[in-house]
Structure 1
Amino acid sequence: MSTFASAFAGGLLIGLSAALFLLLDGRIAGISGLVAGLGRPADRSWRTGLAFLAGLVLGPPAFVLLAGGWPVMRIEASLPVLALAGLLVGFGTRLGSGCTSGHGVCGLARLSPRSAVAVLAFLASGMLTVAVGRVLA
């Protein structure tokens, strides 16, 4: 499958799943909010978050079965750098009241001004990180 076709199909599936989640459950499909709900087992959202997380974990093996193999990936960072990056992303999602999926996919679709500001901050931070990384490399 071409890069364009697979990216297009992935985008359609993400948009469809976010729209269906909002339509059927009445909630935003932000990953950080769903995962945060796992810490509250008494809340009904606990089961939904667990199911969503299970889908995220089972998605790659399903891709391998359907596509016949893993896509080519090149990760050049060390494990400690990746762990630090993951912690910083987690901190950022709490600080920004949501993640890229919640703000970028769902918030922008609802024309949320807060999400528009958050997405602009995500993009600016990403561009600045790449620029600084290239200078330091």
Structure 2
Amino acid sequence: MEMELQTAFTPWASLGGGVLIGLSAVMVMGLFGRIAGISGITKGFLSTLLPTPGTPRDRDWRLAFLLGLVASPLALMLVGGTATQSVPTNLFGMAVAGLLVGLGTALGSGCTSGHGVCGLARLSVRSLAAVVTFMAAGFVTVFVLRHFLGGA
């Protein structure tokens, strides 16, 4: 897999982004009584497209949340900011990674945002275990990629 290492020290942008993520998590919990984990929001939205018994009927806020994720970088660019993204060119590797992330999300009963931001804020022991697990897996992955597979 082709890798590109690009890091920048952006404390104010990072702080602002963290505040906005925290604010959105509080708003979703306060307004809808739901956890602002993207996997749960996406799964809930997709389940409303093919309704079955027990399907949540709260499609509108889920759609607004998902559209906000897409619209945010576009809005940033409209006001003169830049939104850069680099992705590997190995489509097979990206597909495998995406499937593994989806599998991990299903097995872990949530995603990094749900467990890391919302679960830890609620002092969930299950979320703490999930965060420790995915952080450890991330550390091991970076170590293996950099030191054994010749990555940057």
TM-score normalized by the length of structure 1: 0.90
- 2:79 is matched with 66
* Greater gyration radius: 2
Among candidates 116, 128, 138, match of residue 104 of structure 1: 116
SS at match of 1:68: coil
Among candidates 17, 24, 37, match of residue 24 of structure 2: 17
Identity of aligned residues (%): 53
- Is the CA contact 1:34–1:45 (under 8 Å) kept in the aligned structure 2? no
Query: Which runs of structure 2 are paired with 1:23-62 in the superposition (5 Å)?
Result: 23-41=30-48, 42=51, 43-62=56-75
* Structure 1 residues not aligned, in runs of 5+: none
Per-residue deviation, 1:70: 2.6
Q: CA RMSD in A?
A: 1.6
In structure 2, distance between residues paired with 1:117 and 1:102: 13
- 1:87 is matched with 99
- Number of aligned pairs? 135
* Structure 2 residues not aligned, in runs of 5+: 1-8
Per-residue deviation, 1:84: 1.8
AA aligned to 2:17 is G
- Is the CA contact 1:34–1:48 (under 8 Å) kept in the aligned structure 2? no
Which stretch has the larger CA shift, 60-69 or 17-26?
Answer: 60-69
Comparing both structures, which one devotes a greater share of its residues to helix?
1
Q: RCO higher in 1 or 2 (8 Å CA, sep ≥ 6)?
A: 2
TM-score normalized by the length of structure 2: 0.81
